[in-house]
Copies of this chain bind each other. A is one copy, B any other.
Amino acid sequence: MQRREVKMKHQRNSAKTVGIVGMGLIGGSLGLDLQEMGYQVHGLVNKNQTAEKALARGLAQKVSIDPKVLANCDLIVLALPIQTLLNPDPTLFKALPPKAVVTDVGSVKGPILNVWEKLHPRFVASHPMAGTSESGVSAGLKGLFRNRPWIATPSINTEPEALEEVHNLAKAVGSRWLTSSANLHDKAVALISHLPVLISAALLKTLENEQDKKVFDLATTLASSGFADTTRVGGGNPALGTSMAAHNTDEILNFFSSYYASLKELEQHILQGNWMSLHDELTRTEAIRKIVFK
């Protein structure tokens, strides 16, 4: 029964052609999974060399630098950096068939929704929350989206059928589907994704600013898994971190205030030698982490 359902899904999907603009980590991974699910995948990239590599890696059945490759697509995924999504090339959006559903993968949704719902009648803002530290045409891998959240942020202008098409795509690659307003999404990711980059980077900066060379050297030698975990996102892709901050500025600044208040409270307990209160705080942070990652 299970097997028959899967087969039927394959047949149905084989009619669909998905266009992917950008064949980096997200676009490439999507191409690999969708082909396996029976979709036709056409990729658009900006260099011939990238097209060759994408084809050699089997990221899509067709890859081209000519936007015409998108002509017969039913659904198009703009797997591009935020900066590029916010300043789209006119030759790109003119090449998108009006009948196709268009979605993006950007990690900030408000500004992208603003730009794109004016550019395409069937635009759906979405954000598959998956990643590795790799990027570029060799980064794509199978199963990247499995059990990961894929959140769409429809506005009152979003067409329900278009939203449903993106939902089907997310289901096809095994994602957990969610919807929220763009504003709520941007607040939530400011807290769990963008703020962490900055507080983690500040820790690396504290090490960098250490003036006593002996302390710096010993700290560097002794740093182990705790320091590695806490600094992982702050030592990540600078362009991505900058882009998040530049396009989700207000939400991030709000959480900065809340974060300072939290840190100051912990510092106060230490300053006052109030170890019982510090222990209570750390007991609560232990508990809340278990709620988040149950």
Contact = CB atoms under 8 A, between A and B. Distances in A.
A230 B289 contact: no
A125 B138 CA distance: 49
Contacts of A253: 267, 270-271
Interface stretch (A49-57, A161-169, A239-247): A239-247
A225 B203 CA distance: 18
Interface in A237-285: 237-239, 241-242, 245-246, 249, 252-253, 255-256, 258-263, 265-267, 269-271, 273, 275, 278-279, 281-285
A26 to B, nearest CB: 14
A87 interface: no
Interface in A197-242: 197-210, 212, 214-215, 218-239, 241-242
Interface in A95-133: 129-131
A47 interface: no
A184 interface: yes
A283 B61 CA distance: 36
A259 B206 CA distance: 5
A233 to B, nearest CB: 5
Contact of A209 (B202, B204, B212, B262): B262
Interface residues of A, number: 94
Contacts of A235: 285-286, 288-290
Given A253-B271, A270-B252, A281-B201, A218 B289 contact: no
A220 B184 CA distance: 13
21 contacts: A178-B218, A180-B218, A188-B222, A191-B206, A191-B215, A192-B222, A192-B227, A195-B203, A196-B226, A199-B203, A200-B230, A202-B262, A226-B232, A231-B285, A234-B289, A235-B288, A236-B286, A238-B285, A245-B275, A249-B273, A256-B267
